[in-house]
């Protein structure tokens, strides 16, 4: 019997916290042990159900995640026992599953030493297509809601739900196995894996909805995976993405006021920026740029580095930043990147130049439901003295914003206009 410990909190609260913080890691380990996504998901839920029944009597185990994995594994074997057609291979299955240490990585797969990272690579199957496997991985592995993923892709939740359903159907109908790719296959899946980590970080750095600006659980996990990946596959874009996340994360403490309100970059107390993360990010972006094969993440990291190294907002090298955006738009002319470029151009050339670019983007319709595009337009109109246009755009942005601090900020802008 595993050792237990007394819990100062009610068991349902302990399990709720464990589910939010550990369930995807438990699922990743169970998928590795069972070799089947659906069976692992069922086993995980059975384990949490068993914990809800047993822990109030027996106490919380000293290693709760290991207990959940072990219990889930045995629940899966019990389920097989109840199915007569699986009785024949049961002994072989038991031999494969029972000796495994639930919380430690499988020593047979040395290329991927972390279960979560292993599962991300497993789900990013090239036959699914990048968008489909990224959406599926964000939903099933990283635990983001369909609504959160839809906002990241700037599509309706119903569209994203259909995309995820189609991805699962393709896996089922074409028999795509949930198998850990070999070392030679990892680079072919790297682009999708980087996109998964980036989108998880974005949701953690700037939550798409809710009462807080950030979600430290998501951004912290993304950085952890980024560091593992940089050690495993030291490609330029891996270093670029890690640098980008570190630079952004370094500003976390300065992004909100003590009351939880949003603080813009221009108003942030830079003494609160985490210099250790900036130094680590500088080393990573130097490695990426030194390769002379700069991709999207490396260029975005170079932009973040320019902000991080400026002693004050007034010293921001906007000309250099616009230059990086020009290169970035050539690589990825997405509407969000063009919007960010427009903001940089406005700081370099004035609000009129920024407004012309933003209006052109909005006319294309791709960012019609993106609140930050309307907020940027409102800011430019306000600076140009076009107060009626500013009010209209702030109201549109407010109707689209889902994060409470952003809504309070927009309401404040509207109130200031009278």
- Tokens for 282? 């500088």
What pLDDT does residue 357 have? 97
Q: What is the mean pLDDT of residues 348-366?
A: 95
Instruction: Measure the CA–CA gap between 230 and 155, rounded to whole angstroms.
Output: 31
Average pLDDT, integer, range 77-98:
56
> What's residue 93's pLDDT?
45
Is a pLDDT exceeding 80 seen at residue 375? yes
pLDDT band at 339 (very low <50, low <70, confident <90, very high): very high
pTM score above 0.75:
yes
Query: Looking at 99-103, 112-116, 259-263, 308-312, which range is the least confident one?
Result: 99-103
User: How confident is the model at residue 96, as a pLDDT?
Assistant: 45
Q: What pairs with residue 60 in β-bridges?
A: 5
Q: Which of 171-175, 274-278, 315-319 shows the lowest mean pLDDT across its residues?
A: 171-175
Token pair, residue 128, equals 């699914």
Instruction: Classify the phi-psi angles of 260: left when phi > 0, otherwise alpha if psi is within -120 to 50, otherwise beta.
Output: left
The whole-angstrom separation of Cα 344 and Cα 133 is: 32
Q: Is pLDDT larger for residue 27 or for residue 295? A: 295
Spatial separation of the C-alpha atoms in residues 408 and 259, rounded to whole Å: 12
Distance CA 28, CA 391 (A): 48
Go through the chain and tell me how many residues it has: 418
- pLDDT of residue 104 exceeding 50, the answer is no
Residue 75 has pLDDT above 80, yes or no: yes
- Greater confidence (355 vs 57) lies with 355
Share of the chain above pLDDT 90, in %: 45
The percent of residues in the chain predicted with pLDDT above 70, rounded, is 87
The number of beta carbons lying within 10 Å of the beta carbon of residue 145 is 15
Per-residue pLDDT at 170: 81
pLDDT of residue 378: 97
Question: Distance (Å, rounded) from C-alpha 340 to C-alpha 112?
Answer: 35
Largest CA distance in the chain: 79
The residue with greater pLDDT, 144 or 346, is: 346
Q: Residue 310: pLDDT band by 50, 70, 90 thresholds?
A: very high
Note the pLDDT tens digit of each residue in 220-273.
888 998 998 998 888 999 999 999 999 999 999 999 898 888 899 999 999 999
For residue 241, is it left (φ>0), alpha (ψ between -120 and 50) or beta? alpha
6-46 confidence digits (pLDDT tens): 555 688 888 888 887 788 778 878 877 886 777 888 899 99
User: What's the distance, CA 336 to chain centroid?
Assistant: 17
- Residue 90: band (very low, low, confident or very high) from pLDDT cuts 50, 70, 90: very low
Instruction: Return mean pLDDT, the chain.
Output: 84
Can you give the pLDDT at residue 165?
A: 84
**Phi, psi of 270, rounded to the nearest 5 degrees:** -75, -10
222 contact partners, CB below 8 Å, separation of at least 6: 197, 198, 200, 201, 204, 245
Determine contact, residues 369/375, Cβ cutoff 8 Å. no
Do the Cβ atoms of 242 and 226 come closer than 8 Å?
Answer: yes
Q: Compute the C-alpha angle 7/9/15, nearest 5°.
A: 85
Q: What is the pLDDT of residues 175-219, one digit of tens each?
A: 776 666 777 888 888 888 998 899 888 888 876 666 666 778 888
> CB–CB of 328/341 below 8 Å?
yes
Greater confidence, 70 or 211? 70
Q: Would you say residue 397 has pLDDT above 90?
A: yes
More confident residue, 137 or 398: 398
Q: Report which of residues 76 and 297 the model is more confident about.
A: 297
Is residue 262 within 8 Å of residue 228, measured between CB atoms? no
Is it the case that residue 331 has pLDDT exceeding 70?
A: yes
The predicted structure's pLDDT at residue 212: 66
């Amino acid at each position: 019997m595993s050792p237990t410990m007394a819990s100062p909190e009610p068991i349902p609260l302990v399990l709720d916290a464990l589910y939010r913080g550990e369930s995807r890691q438990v699922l990743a380990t169970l998928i590795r042990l069972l070799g089947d996504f659906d069976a692992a998901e069922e086993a995980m839920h059975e384990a949490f159900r068993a914990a809800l029944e047993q822990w109030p009597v027996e106490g919380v185990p000293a290693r709760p995640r290991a207990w959940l994995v072990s219990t889930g594994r045995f629940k899966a074997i019990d389920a097989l026992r109840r199915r007569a057609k699986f009785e024949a291979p049961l002994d072989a299955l038991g031999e494969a599953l029972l000796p495994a240490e639930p919380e430690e990585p499988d020593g047979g797969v040395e290329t991927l030493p972390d279960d979560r990272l292993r599962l991300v690579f497993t789900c990013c199957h090239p036959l699914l297509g990048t968008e489909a496997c990224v959406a599926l991985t964000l939903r099933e592995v990283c635990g983001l809601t369909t609504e959160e993923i839809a906002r990241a892709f700037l599509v309706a939740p119903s569209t994203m739900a259909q995309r995820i359903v189609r991805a699962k159907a393709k896996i089922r109908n074409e028999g795509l196995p949930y198998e850990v790719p070999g070392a030679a296959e990892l680079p072919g899946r790297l682009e999708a894996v980087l996109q998964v980590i980036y989108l998880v970080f974005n949701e953690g750095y700037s939550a798409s909805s809710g009462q807080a600006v950030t979600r430290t659980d998501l951004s912290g996990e993304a950085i952890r995976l980024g560091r593992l990946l940089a050690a495993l596959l030291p490609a330029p874009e891996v270093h670029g993405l890690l640098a980008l996340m570190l630079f952004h994360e370094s500003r976390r403490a300065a992004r909100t006021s003590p009351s939880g309100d949003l603080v813009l970059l221009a108003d942030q107390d830079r003494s609160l920026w985490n210099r250790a993360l900036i130094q680590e990010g500088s080393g990573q972006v130097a490695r990426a740029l030194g390769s002379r094969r700069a991709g999207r993440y490396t260029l975005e990291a170079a932009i973040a580095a320019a902000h991080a190294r400026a002693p004050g907002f007034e010293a921001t090298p906007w000309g250099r930043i616009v230059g990086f955006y020009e290169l970035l738009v050539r690589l990825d002319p997405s509407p969000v990147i063009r919007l960010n470029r427009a903001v940089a151009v406005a700081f370099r050339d004035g609000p009129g130049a920024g407004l012309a670019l933003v209006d052109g983007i909005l006319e294309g319709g791709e960012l019609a439901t993106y609140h930050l595009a309307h907020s940027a337009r409102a800011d430019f109109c306000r600076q140009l003295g076009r107060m009626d246009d500013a009010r209209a755009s702030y109201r549109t942005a407010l109707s689209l914003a889902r994060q409470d601090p952003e809504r309070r900020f927009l309401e404040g802008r509207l109130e200031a206009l009278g």
